[in-house]
Structure 1
Amino acid sequence: MKQAGKVIIIGAGHVGSHAAYALASQGLAGEIVLIDIDREKAAAQVLDIGDAVAYLPYPVKIKAGDYKDAGDGDVMVIAVGTNPDKAKGETRMDTLAATAAIIRDVAEEIRQSGFYGILVSISNPADVIAHYLQYLLSWPAGKIISTGTALDSARLRRVTAEAVGVSIEEVEGYALGEHGESQIAAWSTVSIQGRALSELREENKGKYGRIDWESLAGEVRGGGWTILEGKGSTEFGIGAALAEVVRAVWEDKGTILPVSTLLSGEYGQHGVYASVPAVLGRKGVKEVVELKLTEEEKEKFGESCRIMRENFELAVTWYEKTRKARNDGAASA
C-alpha cells in the first residue's frame, strides 16, 4: 500500500470518532485531525483514541483541530448531521433540510481552508448530500464521493451468508441506488463460492427455494434502523466501510467498491449521485462499473435515482433561496 496520508474528519460524534478509530487501527492514516463545533468533545475523542494507539501496531498522529489544519490534507471525511426520528416516522431523506443547512457552512469552510483532496461524505441522506457538496464546491465529481451502499452491500453479504450457511468471505454482491429506503438488493449480482446465485437457485430449488429473499432484502434495507433503535446510532459498520474506501484510495490499485458517485449516462441515468460499483484510486472515482441488471432491477434503480434527483433539486432550490435572502439582507444593511 502507498504511504497513508493525512485525513481530516469533520464531526467527532459516534460516526466520526469510529471512522477515526478504524483508520488508526488499520494503519490507514499517518495523521488524523478531528474537527467539531464541540471542541471539547473532539479533544476528548482524540485523547480516547490516543490511548488506544499505544497498543496498536501502526504509528499515527491524531489531534483535535480546525479548518486551518485541512489545507494539506489528502482525504476529508464529512460526518456531520442529524439522525432521523423513527418515532416520528422519519427516514434518512427527512433529515435533508437540517443536514443541508450544516453542509452549506461546512462547504464554505472547506473552500476557505484550501483543501483540495478526496472528499468522502458519510452524512445522510448520503447520496444527496454528496451531490449537494459537489454542487456547492464545483469540484470534479470524481473527487467527491459518499460511502453510499458500501455498508448496505456488507449487510447484503452478511444476511446472505447467514441464510445459506457459508462464511461472509464466500459471498459477493451489491446493494445499489440510495443508501436509504429506495435501495435495491441486486440479487443478480450476488455470487456464492464463486457461482452466481441465480444458477444455484435453479440447480437446488429445495435449498434456495426455502429462503425468503424479499425478507432478506428488507433486513438489508432496515438494518440501520434496527441498530439505531437498539443503541441510538450506527458506528462500527460505517467506520469499517469508510476505512475500506480510504484503503482503496491509498492503494490506487483499481479496487472496486460500491460508493455513491455522479452518473453521466451509466445505467441510463444522468445528473444524479447514486451508489454503484466504482473503480477507486488516488484521484477518487476512476470509472463506474456497469453491471448487467435484470429489467426489474433496472426499473427499481431508476426509481431510486428519481427520488434522489428530486431531493437534490429541493436542496439546491433551498440553497439558492437562502443565498438570495442573505445577499438581499447584506445589500440593504
Structure 2
Amino acid sequence: MEKNCQEVDLRKVAVIGCGFVGSASAFALMQSGLFSEMVLIDADMDRAEGEAMDISHGMPFSRPMKIYAGDYDDIVDAAIIIITAGANQKPDETRLDLVHKNVGIFKMIIPKIKERNCKGILLIVSNPVDILTYAALKIGDFPESKVIGSGTVLDTSRLKYQIGEYLGVDSRSVHAFIIGEHGDSEIAAWSSANVSGVPMRNFYEMKGKHKYEKATANIADTVRNSAYEIIEKKKATYYGIAMSVRRICEAIVRDEKSILPVSSPMHGEYGISDVVLSMPAIVGKNGLEEHMPIELNGDEIKALRESAETLKEVLRNIEF
C-alpha cells in the first residue's frame, strides 16, 4: 500500500540492512540518545528481529527507545533513512568491485522508498558509497540535499587519528580532510590541514618532525589501506563506520551546521561535474546545505580530478 508522509518524526530513524555495518550503526545510535524510535529492515526478517531484540535488551542501561523490525511502510515518517544494505567487501576486493552487485540491490530498495513519498534524509552507507549515492539520486529522483553519502567521514577520522598519534596531540585538535572517492583514489588535503590553527608543516617542525613529505605520505598510505588491513585481519569493518553514521545523524538531528566530508554531487567545483564524491560540506537538519571550499594546491586539485574520473569511468558502465 502506498503511503504519503508530509512530516517527519525527528526522533525516528530507519536502518535498511542489518549486516555488520547496519547492526553496529543501530547499536551506536541506540547509545547516542538522538532517537526515541528505530526500525530495522532486512531481506532476512529473522535477522532484523534478532538484532532489534538483542539491542533492546540493553535498554535498562541506556535511554528509553522503541526498537523493532519492520518493513518499508514503517519508514515513511523517519527523519533519517540509513541504507547499509549490500554485499560485503571481501579480502582483495576493492570497493569498486562491489558496484554491479550493489547497484542491483539499490534498484530494488530505492523505488520502495520513492513510492512511499518519504520526506526524510537518505544517508547512504553501502559501498562503493559514491557510486551508490549517485545511484540513489538517479533511481529515486530525490532532491540532492536530501541524499547524503557517508563519504570520507570515516577516512577523515582515520587521518585525524593517525596524525594525532604521530604528533602526540589530541586527534580532536587536528583539522584535516580526506577528499574525493571513498576508496583507492582518495586524497589527503594537506594544504588546508592544521592543528588548532597552526599549519600542519609548521606544527611538524615545532614537534621536531622534519621529514614532512615522507611522514605525511606514510600517514596517507596508512589511511588509504586501513580498510584492507582490517578486512584481512577480521573479515569486515564496522565499528568505525558506525561511529561515523552516528556523527552524521547527530549533525542532522541537532541542526549543528557541522562541516563534514560527505559524498554529494559536484557541479563545477574544481572543474568537476556529473559525479558524486566527498568534499567538506555544511550538514544540518535540511541535509546537505552547501559545499565549503578549502585550500588545495595544484597537485591536490589534479588528484581530485583524477579521482572524479575514476568514478566516472565506473558510472559509464552502469545503467540506471
Quickly name the TM-score band, shorter chain normalised. over 0.9
SS in 1 for 2:39: strand
More displaced 10-residue stretch of structure 1: 296-305 or 103-112 = 103-112
Instruction: For 2:160 and 2:303, locate their aligned partners in 1 and report how far apart those are by CA, in whole Å.
Output: 20
Q: Residue type matched to 1:80 in 2?
A: A
Q: Which residue of 1 aligns with 2:84?
A: 79
Q: Which residue of 1 aligns with 2:71?
A: 66
Alignment of 1:29 with 2:35, yes or no, is yes
Superposed CA RMSD in Å reads 1.5
Q: How far 1:204 sits from its partner (Å)? A: 4.5
Q: Which residue of 2 aligns with 1:209?
A: 211
Which residues of 2 match residues 238-249 of structure 1 at below 5 A? 238-249=241-252
SS in 1 for 2:263: strand
SS in 1 for 2:61: coil
Q: Residue type matched to 1:212 in 2?
A: A
Instruction: For 1:73 and 1:159, locate their aligned partners in 2 and report how far apart those are by CA, in whole Å.
Output: 35
Q: Which residue of 2 aligns with 1:197?
A: 200
Count of aligned positions: 311
Q: How far 1:199 sits from its partner (Å)? A: 2.8
What are the superposed Cα offsets for residues 33-86 of structure 1, whole Å, 9 maximum, x if unpaired? Answer: 000001111101001110122201x22111000101011111100001112332
Q: Is the 1:262–1:271 Cα contact (8 Å) retained in structure 2?
A: yes
Q: How far 1:159 sits from its partner (Å)? A: 0.6
Q: Which residue of 1 aligns with 2:98?
A: 95
Q: Is the 2:180–2:187 Cα contact (8 Å) retained in structure 1?
A: yes
Alignment of 1:166 with 2:172, yes or no, is no
Q: Which residue of 2 aligns with 1:115?
A: 118
SS in 2 for 1:44: helix
Q: Which residue of 1 aligns with 2:6?
A: none
Q: Which residue of 2 aligns with 1:297?
A: 300
Instruction: For 2:210 and 2:172, locate their aligned partners in 1 and report how far apart those are by CA, in whole Å.
Output: 19
Q: How far 1:162 sits from its partner (Å)? A: 0.8
Match of 1:52 among 44, 58, 75: 58
Q: Which residue of 2 aligns with 1:275?
A: 278
Q: How far 1:205 sits from its partner (Å)? A: 8.6
SS in 2 for 1:34: strand
Structure 1 gap ranges (5+): 320-333
SS in 1 for 2:82: strand
Q: Residue type matched to 2:313 in 1?
A: E
Q: Is the 1:22–1:243 Cα contact (8 Å) retained in structure 2?
A: yes
Q: How far 1:198 sits from its partner (Å)? A: 2.8
What are the superposed Cα offsets for residues 235-267 of structure 1, whole Å, 9 maximum, x if unpaired? Answer: 111011011111111111311111001111222
Q: Which residue of 1 aligns with 2:227?
A: 224
Q: Is the 1:132–1:312 Cα contact (8 Å) retained in structure 2?
A: no
SS in 1 for 2:189: strand
Q: Which residue of 1 aligns with 2:5?
A: none
Q: Is the 2:10–2:79 Cα contact (8 Å) retained in structure 1?
A: no
What are the superposed Cα offsets for residues 88-118 of structure 1, whole Å, 9 maximum, x if unpaired? Answer: x421001000001101000121122332210
Q: Residue type matched to 1:81 in 2?
A: G
Q: How far 1:4 sits from its partner (Å)? A: 4.5
Question: Quick one: structure 1 residues 260 and 121, their matched pair in 2 at CA, closer, same or farther if it must change by over 3 Å?
Answer: same
SS in 2 for 1:280: strand
What are the superposed Cα offsets for residues 116-164 of structure 1, whole Å, 9 maximum, x if unpaired? Answer: 2100000000111001100001111111011110000000000111111
Instruction: For 1:205 and 1:159, locate their aligned partners in 2 and report how far apart those are by CA, in whole Å.
Output: 15
Identical positions, percent: 34
Instruction: For 2:157 and 2:301, locate their aligned partners in 1 and report how far apart those are by CA, in whole Å.
Output: 21
Q: Residue type matched to 2:289 in 1?
A: K
Q: TM-score, normalised by structure 2?
A: 0.93
More displaced 10-residue stretch of structure 1: 123-132 or 209-218 = 209-218
Q: Is the 2:121–2:146 Cα contact (8 Å) retained in structure 1?
A: yes
Q: Which residue of 2 aligns with 1:12?
A: 18
Q: How far 1:206 sits from its partner (Å)? A: 4.3
More displaced 10-residue stretch of structure 1: 161-170 or 208-217 = 208-217
Q: Which residue of 2 aligns with 1:39?
A: 45
Q: How far 1:29 sits from its partner (Å)? A: 1.4
